[in-house]
């Protein structure tokens, strides 16, 4: 009987201690929540120090209520902020969703250390800065990345957006939302083209297949000096080759056993494509063999519409090239493959100059940018070195990574 009384007394004592701790914690919360006119920063910091240990022992519902009390504060003590932001999402949710006083440092630290669920709440906040977006995207979670991309108030830096483009290769659900971002640039869009579906490819070609008319007008006088010193500079030569109007390689056509691009495509439609014929098509079209191989092995086929329009090939030659690729095709003109109709649509919507822009960027990114250092980085999976490369080199790394690894 005496022992039971002692045990009961101990339980009651523990309950009393819990109540006292809870009362004190609430009173301290009242104090730390006072406006700046009532308590200065040093006093608030001392109160916060007293609260931290008790907060760790408090029930989750009490921690949630305290976090909610702190939401309107413009100066949440750092130690309490760090503790509550990393707490269970039930506790941290209101702070992450509604607190306007959280700094980039608070959000980045939470995005780095807390759970993906915490990160998803950060991703929905208004006015996300480039630094916070970068930290969220670095988590490499497809659903989280999609939330960041869908946040219209987020400001996504170029390097982070390039990371999402790389992720989209294995997470195709990201492609559509990436295409809606105002920060997306042609270099990234042209690369993403290779793994997008038809609708997304159409968006890329309509939005990013830009004209070079202004560029051509601004450097028109330089083309007359084709044999001058300027063309000896590799950078000048590449830039002018990208800008000029002529696409086909006339010199190659003069020595081609097929008499030109039309002739080799006719021959390929009868025999099928071989590596030599692919290289010949590329040479006559003014692109490197690797670029031609990439286009002529494209599963969707839209890239050959770009090739044909850019080189001035008429629509019958588009049909012959499709046939050369051994894709289903009815000789009477009936579509035997839904992809064929899509290829024709792309051919019809593209202007020659805009198609040339796309084709030349592919050729520039897929071949001119391929230095031995870049090839080694692709083969060894050194994507972490991406900042060391130019825009064209980064594009090549993204577009060709799977090809080189296989």
- Would you say residue 32 has pLDDT above 90? no
- Same domain? For 268 and 349 the reply is yes
- Same domain? For 257 and 363 the reply is yes
- Same domain? For 313 and 259 the reply is yes
What's the CA gap between 305 and 313, in Å, rounded?
9
Band (336; pLDDT cuts 50, 70, 90): low
Comparing 169 with 12, the larger pLDDT belongs to 169
What's the CA gap between 51 and 27, in Å, rounded?
10
- Same domain? For 48 and 91 the reply is yes
Using alpha carbons only, give the angle 16, 22, 27 rounded to the nearest 5 degrees: 125
Mean pLDDT of 66-90: 91
**Looking at residue 184, what is its pLDDT?**
92
Number of domains in the chain: 3
Handedness of CA 351, 352, 356, 357 (dihedral sign): negative
**Residue 180 belongs to a domain:** yes
User: What pTM was estimated for this model as a whole?
Assistant: 0.77
Q: Do residues 75 and 36 touch, judged by C-beta distance below 8 A?
A: yes
Q: Could you say which DSSP state residue 49 is in?
A: H
- Same domain? For 260 and 347 the reply is yes
- Would you say residue 345 has pLDDT above 90? yes
Identity of the highest mean pLDDT range in 47-61, 100-114, 317-331? 100-114
**Residue 6 belongs to a domain:** no
**Looking at residue 371, what is its pLDDT?**
42
What's the CA gap between 361 and 347, in Å, rounded?
18
Burial of 91 (0-12, 13-18, 19+ CB in 10 A): buried
List C-alpha distances in Å: 328 to 82, 155, 345.
Answer: 61, 45, 17
- Would you say residue 392 has pLDDT above 50? no
**Looking at residue 402, what is its pLDDT?**
52
**Residue 385 belongs to a domain:** no
What's the CA gap between 301 and 325, in Å, rounded?
9
**Residue 222 belongs to a domain:** no
Of 42-46, 90-94, 227-231, 344-348, the one with minimum mean pLDDT is 227-231
**Residue 18 belongs to a domain:** yes
**Looking at residue 255, what is its pLDDT?**
93
pLDDT of 96-155, one tens digit each? 999 999 999 999 999 999 999 999 999 999 999 999 999 999 999 999 999 999 999 999
- Same domain? For 254 and 333 the reply is yes
**Residue 167 belongs to a domain:** yes
- Would you say residue 75 has pLDDT above 80? yes
- Same domain? For 255 and 356 the reply is yes
- Same domain? For 81 and 153 the reply is no
Closest to 81 in 3D by CA, of 57, 107, 50, 60: 107
- Same domain? For 177 and 78 the reply is no
Band (294; pLDDT cuts 50, 70, 90): confident
- Same domain? For 146 and 82 the reply is no
**Residue 374 belongs to a domain:** no
- Same domain? For 90 and 127 the reply is no
Q: Which of 132, 156, 184 is the last residue of a domain?
A: 184
Mark 324-363 as b/e (b = at least 16 C-beta within 10 Å): bbebebeeeeeeeeebbebbbebbeebeebbbbbbbbbbb
Of 122-131, 183-192, 275-284, 379-388, the one with minimum mean pLDDT is 379-388
- Same domain? For 92 and 160 the reply is no
**Looking at residue 8, what is its pLDDT?**
53
| Residues contacting residue 39 through CB under 8 Å, at least 6 positions apart | 31, 32, 47
pLDDT of 261-281, one tens digit each? 999 999 999 999 998 999 999
- Would you say residue 60 has pLDDT above 60? yes
Q: Could you say which DSSP state residue 139 is in?
A: T
**Mean pLDDT score of the chain:** 82
**Residue 201 belongs to a domain:** no
Q: Which of 168, 184, 200 is the last residue of a domain?
A: 184
Q: How many CB atoms lie under 10 A from the CB of residue 275?
A: 9
Band (225; pLDDT cuts 50, 70, 90): low
- Would you say residue 350 has pLDDT above 70? yes
- Would you say residue 90 has pLDDT above 50? yes
Which residues form the domain of 262? 250-368
Mean pLDDT of 156-181: 92
Count of all residues that appear for the chain in the document: 406
């Amino acid at each position: 009987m005496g022992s039971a009384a002692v045990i009961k007394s101990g339980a009651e004592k523990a309950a009393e201690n819990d109540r006292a701790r809870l009362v004190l914690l609430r009173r301290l919360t009242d104090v730390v929540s006072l406006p700046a006119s009532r308590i200065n920063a040093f006093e608030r910091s001392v109160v916060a120090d007293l609260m931290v240990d008790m907060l760790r022992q408090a029930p989750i519902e009490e921690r949630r209520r305290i976090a909610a009390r702190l939401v309107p504060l413009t100066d949440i003590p750092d130690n309490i902020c760090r503790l509550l932001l990393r707490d269970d999402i039930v506790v941290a949710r209101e702070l992450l969703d509604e607190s306007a006083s959280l700094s980039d440092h608070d959000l980045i630290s939470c995005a780095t250390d807390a759970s993906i669920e915490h990160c998803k709440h950060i991703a929905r906040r208004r006015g996300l800065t480039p630094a916070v977006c970068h930290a969220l995207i670095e988590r490499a979670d497809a659903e989280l990345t999609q939330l960041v991309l869908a946040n219209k108030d987020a400001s996504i830096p170029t390097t982070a957006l390039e990371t999402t483009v790389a992720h989209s290769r294995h997470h195709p659900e990201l492609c559509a939302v990436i295409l809606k971002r105002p920060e997306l640039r042609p270099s990234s869009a042209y690369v993403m083209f290779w793994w997008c579906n038809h609708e997304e490819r159409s968006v890329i070609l309509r939005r990013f297949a830009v004209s070079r008319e202004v560029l051509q007008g601004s450097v028109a006088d330089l083309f007359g000096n084709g044999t001058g010193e300027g063309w000896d500079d590799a950078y000048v030569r590449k830039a002018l080759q990208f800008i000029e109007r002529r696409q086909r390689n006339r010199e190659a056509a003069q020595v081609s056993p097929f008499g030109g691009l039309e002739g080799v495509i006719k021959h390929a439609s009868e025999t099928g494509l071989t590596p030599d014929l692919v290289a010949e098509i590329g040479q006559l079209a003014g692109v490197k063999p690797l670029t031609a191989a990439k286009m002529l092995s494209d599963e969707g086929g839209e890239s050959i519409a770009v090739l044909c329009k850019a080189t001035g090939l008429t629509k019958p030659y588009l049909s012959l090239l499709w046939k050369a690729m051994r894709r289903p095709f009815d000789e009477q003109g009936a579509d035997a493959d839904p992809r064929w109709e899509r290829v024709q649509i792309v051919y019809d919507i593209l202007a020659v100059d805009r198609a040339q822009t796309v084709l030349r960027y592919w050729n520039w990114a897929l071949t001119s940018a391929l230095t031995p250092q870049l090839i080694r980085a692709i083969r060894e999976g050194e994507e972490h070195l991406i900042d060391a490369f130019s825009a064209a080199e980064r594009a090549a790394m993204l577009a060709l990574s799977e090809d080189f690894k296989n």
